[in-house]
Structure 1
Amino acid sequence: MRNFQELALLDPDAKTTGQRILVFLQANFATGTGVTGWIMTACLGIIVWFAMDKRRRANFERFWYSHHLFVIFFLAWQFHGMWCMIKPDRQPFCSYISIGVFWRYWLVGGVIWTYERVLREIRARHKTYISKVIQHPSKVVEIQIKKEKTTIRAGQYIFICCPDISYFQWHPFTLTSAPEEDYISVHIRVVGDFTTALAKALGCDFDSKKGNEVNAGGGMVVGTNTNPPLKRTLPRVMVDGPFGSASEDYLNYETVLLVGAGIGVTPFASILKSIWYRMNGLNNSKPTRLSKVYFTWVIRDFGSAEWFHSLLQAIEDQDTQNRIEINIYLTAKIKEDDMTNIIVQDVGAEKDAVTSLRAPTHYGRPNWDKTFTSLVDKHPETDVGVFFCGPPVLSRQLRQMCNKFSDPIPGGTRFFFGKGTVHR
């Protein structure tokens, strides 16, 4: 717009203000350069608008479809310089050898992107089928999928497409199954249009409490290919992946501190399972140096991740040697009556009144100075891995704690920080 304004002011035929405004409008909306420029601006604005974190999480479909405006954006950019509005200062003037050559700059990236999309279609054709669907409380659906020739690592994520809903929508979900298990699984919170449609297609009904489902790990099996009473036709899903940094650095330490905050606990489902398998040498798992794991879960409301309670309870029940120590911090404000009931039930009880775990529930935020001091005392002369998934504020705080408590003297306790990402 600034350039068009300068052209309007410098136009020798525009004598009056009205004529200059007309020249300015013609340059913007009656020339190929102006029109393609506005198309690019509109496409970029829409992409940025729906890519905002809150909007993307509220409606992933709009984010997904609007992001494909980049195709129109690049096409408009290709034609943007071909109208020769500003002529070169030397011959050949307005030759396609010197103008409209933007394709040279995006050709390599475009070919790579096209190759990746074709590769995704090929990978998605691998045989997959849903072996079990479990409906958990708080509108969470667990999908167990059998896929041939799939090798995963703890903490990775996959893209899932359900053609019955939309052939073009691919949504990322963090894996909650361990590499040692014979299936891959995801836990999906039903919060958007796609997840609602997927849950319905899978046969979930969160409003109805009736049915012939059977309990399974804190949830209800609503579909399976192995149990005749529950056997039903489940929709096909296409899987692309797994992907992600999925760092296995935690296996390189004898002691690790795993910290999950809120929904950031999801990747640790896979990691904790894998650690437990490795520590106990089950399912042909590889041996590990790990001898002690501290898992800290910071959550505001337990109701949003009830499915994770079952996993922790299973690990705790089978961890007879106390290799995995669990600490849960509840940050929500509790009503006085509820607190009184908790205290009454907690007195003399073997398990926590809130979580039904042997591990106690702490109220309030963790005292990280106390936590790290305890680790230094319990594990002198040890390299401790600290792995976190959750909000950036807590990530920075943990990184600072690692730097603060790492002993600069060789042979002292040192902390190494790593951060993950959750997909839901």
Structure 2
Amino acid sequence: STLPKVLIDGPYGAPAQDYKQYEVVLLVGLGIGATPMISILKDIVNNFKAMEEDEGSTIEEGTSGKSPRPSHHKRTGLSNFKTKRAYFYWVTREQGSFDWFKGVMNEVAEEDHRGVIELHNYCTSVYEEGDARSALIAMLQSLNHAKNGVDIVSGTRVKSHFAKPNWRSVYKRIALNHPQTRVGEFPFFNRIDMKRVFYCGPPALTKELHQLSSDFSHNTTTKYDFHKENF
């Protein structure tokens, strides 16, 4: 009998692999979907550390009168690294989930000397902030974070939020933070900021985030480029 024809195509890289080409990135992870986003955060921190080391060696060589060595950026590919700002939103139902990446979250918070990365943890099993039913835990959370610098919900230096994010507010704030900019005496607009949205999680939220990306791309000067990974 004739054997069936088998066609093989691929492999294809993950959409998040080329995040470095964007100056601003929005990273969204639901539950274990935060895993690839955590890797991106670590990569951002490592790239900035390498850039700082490069800047330090250049200054040292300049003051010593030595000829500068070949650019560290060129040797490591950092010339292609364009990211200047990253927003990370991790949404999970179980408080214990924060233990998965506790060490990494603390590491990112401590080593992000330039304040490039903005971290947001959301625990959806707790009533939203402002609700009387979550008032006590919110008070204890604020007191402990102010005194010890540690969040009692996540156990990290990143202060947790309750309930689900207001995604429209998230997109709006980013658009307001990165609009076209008027510079100098004459009307001048910088090129449009390109934001990339990386989303990894269940498909239920895909439609909402994709629609928000489209809405704000059409109604503001900020353009969102949406990419997702479902599982």
1:246 to 14, 17, 20: 14
Contact 1:279 1:290 in 2 (8 A): no
1:413 to 203, 207, 222: 222
Correspondences of 1:131-210 after superposition (within 5 Å): none
Code of the aligned partner of 1:365: K
Contact 1:263 1:305 in 2 (8 A): no
Per the TM alignment, residue 251 of structure 1 is displaced from its structure 2 partner at its CA by 1.1
Percent identity over paired residues = 31
Contact 1:297 1:327 in 2 (8 A): yes
- Work out the CA distance in 2 between the residues paired with 1:299 and 1:285: 35
- Work out the CA distance in 1 between the residues paired with 2:98 and 2:179: 35
- Work out the CA distance in 1 between the residues paired with 2:49 and 2:177: 23
Contact 1:260 1:389 in 2 (8 A): yes
**Aligned counterpart, 2:60:** none
Moved more, 345-354 or 372-381: 345-354
Does residue 38 of structure 2 align to residue 266 of structure 1?
Answer: no
Does residue 150 of structure 2 align to residue 357 of structure 1?
Answer: no
1:255 to 18, 24, 36: 24
Structure 1-normalised TM-score?
0.40
Does residue 100 of structure 2 align to residue 307 of structure 1?
Answer: yes
Does residue 208 of structure 2 align to residue 397 of structure 1?
Answer: yes
**Aligned counterpart, 2:136:** 340
Per the TM alignment, residue 346 of structure 1 is displaced from its structure 2 partner at its CA by 2.3
- Work out the CA distance in 2 between the residues paired with 1:386 and 1:313: 23
Per the TM alignment, residue 369 of structure 1 is displaced from its structure 2 partner at its CA by 1.1
Contact 2:106 2:158 in 1 (8 A): no
- Work out the CA distance in 2 between the residues paired with 1:253 and 1:277: 17
Contact 2:141 2:153 in 1 (8 A): no
Deviations 1:163-183 (A, max 9, x none): xxxxxxxxxxxxxxxxxxxxx
1:369 to 168, 193, 197: 168
Correspondences of 1:34-73 after superposition (within 5 Å): none
**Aligned counterpart, 1:186:** none
Per the TM alignment, residue 263 of structure 1 is displaced from its structure 2 partner at its CA by 1.1
**Aligned counterpart, 1:329:** 122
Per the TM alignment, residue 420 of structure 1 is displaced from its structure 2 partner at its CA by 2.0
**Aligned counterpart, 1:385:** 196
Per the TM alignment, residue 360 of structure 1 is displaced from its structure 2 partner at its CA by 2.1
**Aligned counterpart, 1:209:** none
Correspondences of 1:267-306 after superposition (within 5 Å): 267-281=36-50, 285-287=76-78, 288-306=81-99
SS of the aligned residue for 1:272 comes to helix
Per the TM alignment, residue 342 of structure 1 is displaced from its structure 2 partner at its CA by 5.2
Per the TM alignment, residue 358 of structure 1 is displaced from its structure 2 partner at its CA by 3.6
Contact 2:99 2:155 in 1 (8 A): no
SS of the aligned residue for 2:104 comes to helix
* Larger Rg over CA atoms: 1
Please provide the CA RMSD for this pair.
2.8
- Work out the CA distance in 2 between the residues paired with 1:386 and 1:265: 14
> Where does structure 2 lack aligned partners over 5 or more consecutive residues?
54-74, 181-192
Contact 2:213 2:225 in 1 (8 A): yes
Name the structure, 1 or 2, with higher relative contact order (CA <8 Å, separation 6+). Answer: 2
- Work out the CA distance in 2 between the residues paired with 1:261 and 1:345: 22
Is the alpha carbon distance of 1:404 and 1:292 closer, same or farther for their aligned partners in structure 2, counting shifts above 3 Å? same
Per the TM alignment, residue 351 of structure 1 is displaced from its structure 2 partner at its CA by 3.1
Q: Give 1 or 2: higher helix fraction.
A: 2
**Aligned counterpart, 1:51:** none
Code of the aligned partner of 1:286: G
Structure 2-normalised TM-score?
0.71
- Work out the CA distance in 1 between the residues paired with 2:109 and 2:76: 19
Total equivalences in the alignment: 186
Per the TM alignment, residue 244 of structure 1 is displaced from its structure 2 partner at its CA by 4.9
Contact 1:292 1:324 in 2 (8 A): yes
Deviations 1:320-366 (A, max 9, x none): 211110011110146x9986355225223333222243432110111
Per the TM alignment, residue 281 of structure 1 is displaced from its structure 2 partner at its CA by 1.9
Deviations 1:246-292 (A, max 9, x none): 23231111000000001111112222211221232269743210000
